[in-house]
Homo-oligomer: A and B are copies of this chain.
Amino acid sequence: MPTRWPNRVRVVEVGPRDGLQNEAGDVPTEAKIRFISLLAATGLRDIEATSFVSLRAVPRLADASAVVSALPAPPGPRYWALVPNLKGLERALAVGVRHIAVFTGATDSFTRHNIGMTVEESLAGFVPVVERARAYGVSVRGYISVCFGCPYEGAVAPASVHAVARRLLDLGCDELSIGDTIGIAVPTQIEPVVNPLLDLAGPERVALHFHDTYGAALANVLAAMELGVTTFDAAAGGLGGCPYAPGASGNLATEDLLHLLHGMGIETGVSLEGVAAASRYILGILGRSSASKVLQAMSAR
């Protein structure tokens, strides 16, 4: 095996939050808990479980506290929760969340549409959140969206991504997740975005978050691994869709990622069959089929 690929990869499962938040159907709290519990039994070490956003803004996430409170106690995966502000952080801390994520983007147009503020405003808002989280020993993940292309601004300069990344690291983020929110990245784009980030933060602190809108997610994973990236976000069953292209594929499916990695002899510690079972359960609740080619092929056998 060529040494340009790693021996082990860490998979961050984002289906329960990023995935479900972008699905059309409502999911009962009990089903969310069951979905996460099924995922927790697969060997996944990191699961993004929910989001403590305003109850008024996103009513379907009003059960964030109930979901977190029902999750199996440690030892188990690290459960991550998205936290937009201090109020959200307080709610998260109150139910014992130990791993939070903050969310911004590489362009003002995107963050304005998405969270109603400029990138700068969002970063300013994170200052007290990250400070307080760190005071409690809580780890912080910083998401940067639209790092490879923006639905409003088109091309995104890698320097914009690096500027936001530097700010998030300065704030005290432990890890960055670099998102291709509209699934438009191609392998030639990975190096200019990723290499300076690896220099800045080190490979242990840089995750890539690909969407499979144009089927290129795994090719991008390959290109990123060749540069030294060893952490990838993915969503069970490819949950999530693409709000900018209804009907198109969403997040890279965890099954497709695991099938590729395991086939290449790269360890993840995660059971593909287990993730597929969790996906089948939640897809049954949503009443829809999956865009994951691996899940389709497994079901066809």
Q: Which A positions have Cβ atoms within 8 angstroms of B?
A: 1-2, 5, 183-184, 186-188, 191, 212-216, 218-219, 221-223, 242, 245-249, 253, 256, 259-260, 263-265, 291-294, 296-297, 299-301
Assess the B188–A2 pair: CB atoms within 8 A. Answer: yes
What CA separation (Å) do A292 and B248 show in the bound complex? Answer: 10
**Closest Cβ neighbor of A186 among chain B residues:** B263
How far is B3's CA from A188's CA once the two chains are assembled, in angstroms? 10
Are A256 and B215 in contact, with the CB atoms below 8 A?
Answer: yes
Instruction: Kindly identify which residue among B214, B222, B253, B299 contacts A222, using a CB–CB cutoff of 8 Å.
Output: B222
* A187 contact from B186, B191, B222, B248, Cβ within 8 A: B222
| CB <8 Å contact, B2 and A249 | no
Distance in angstroms from A294 CB to nearest chain B CB is 5
Q: How many copies does the complex hold?
A: 2
Q: List 13 A-B contacts (CB under 8 A).
A: A186-B260, A186-B263, A187-B264, A188-B263, A188-B264, A214-B259, A214-B263, A216-B263, A222-B222, A245-B300, A247-B299, A247-B300, A249-B293
CB contacts (< 8 Å) of A253 on chain B: these are 215
Contacts of A183 in B (CB 8 A): 297
Residues of the B chain whose Cβ atoms lie less than 8 Å from the Cβ of A245: 297, 300-301
Known: A214-B256, A219-B222. Contact between A248 and B186, CB under 8 A?
A: no
Are A215 and B215 touching (Cβ within 8 A)?
A: yes
Q: A56 to chain B: closest CB distance in Å? A: 30
B219 touches A260 (CB 8 A): yes
CB pair A260–B216 under 8 Å, yes or no, is: yes
**Is the CB–CB distance between B293 and A247 below 8 Å?**
no
